[in-house]
Structure formats: C-alpha cells, structure tokens
Amino acid sequence: MIRLCGRPERKEADMTLPDLVKNDMSLLLQQNALPRLPFTRQIHLLNTYVAGSGYVKEIVSRIQGLSEGDRLLLVREPENPFDERAILVENLEGEKLGYIPRRKNEVLAALMDAGKSIYARVCHLEDPEEDLPVSGYMDIDVYMDD
C-alpha cells in the first residue's frame, strides 16, 4: 500500500506513473515546493528581405546551402560605419548573408541591445543564379524567444 500526501491508501497495483506525476506535481506546485520556471514562446516580429546580399562574396554557394525554414543568426554591429543599428544576417556557420534593412532594424536593434534572443528563419529563396538586384535573394521571418 502507498499513502501519498494525505490521500487515502491505494493498492500499489492501482498506482500508475502518470497518477503519481500528475497528482504529486500538482500538489507540490500548489504548496510552492517547486520553483516556477518561466515559459518561453516564439514571437514573430517581422518579415523582411535580406539587404546587401549582392555585395557578399560567395553568396551563390551560401544561398544554395540554405532551405526554407533554416534558422539564421542575427548579430548586432553597433560599430558599423554606415549604420549604428546594423544587424548582420549569418548562416549557422557564421558566414555573412547580408543585413536587416536599415528601415526595419531600429526596434530589433533595441531588443537585441536589451539582451533579447532574436533570430531569423528563411521563408523564401530566389535562385541565386538569376540576375537579381543587390537585395532580393531571400526573405526571412524574424522571431524573438520570450
């Protein structure tokens, strides 16, 4: 027989692991016996193109190595001589793909400077063999984990 936290005795054969976990975890949380951990969620911030890709050497091979849905790194460049709010877009190998456009980086830069976790995912790719303008090889969705 098992007696748990003031509950009536139950036969051991009647007890299942889900019963133990569900009932006892609930009681522990109610009594503040376990610390409450914050939950995180993915918040979509914006959709944008990647600026300046046409100026990146080896951009064709870097784009060809990507697929829609791939995660990308966003790196602040506060010392960038052209834009103090510059945000570099990199693949997971740390290779430059371009930048968040200047007209869309103000809020993202402030969030990143405040320590928020900001990242991007590829949502659309153009064939880099096509004769595209300096920007336009890919569109990305930008997210924050909070």
Tokens of 54: 């046409």
Give dist(CA 109, CA 120) in Å, integer. 14
User: In 44-86, where does DSSP find H-type helix?
Assistant: 59-64
pLDDT, one tens digit per residue, over 36-48 is 666 778 999 999 9
Give dist(CA 54, CA 52) in Å, integer. 5
Q: Give the model's pLDDT for residue 4.
A: 46
Is the pTM above the cut of 0.85?
no
Within this chain, do residues 31 and 48 fall inside the same structural domain, yes or no?
Answer: no
Within this chain, do residues 11 and 82 fall inside the same structural domain, yes or no?
Answer: no
Identify the domain containing residue 128 by its residue range: 42-145
Within this chain, do residues 23 and 94 fall inside the same structural domain, yes or no?
Answer: no
Within this chain, do residues 115 and 56 fall inside the same structural domain, yes or no?
Answer: yes
Distance set, CA 137 to CA 14, 61, 126, 142 (Å): 61, 12, 5, 16
2 falls in which pLDDT band (50, 70, 90)? very low
CATH number at residue 60: 3.30.70.2330
pLDDT, one tens digit per residue, over 57-80 is 888 889 888 999 999 999 999 999
Domain total of the chain: 2
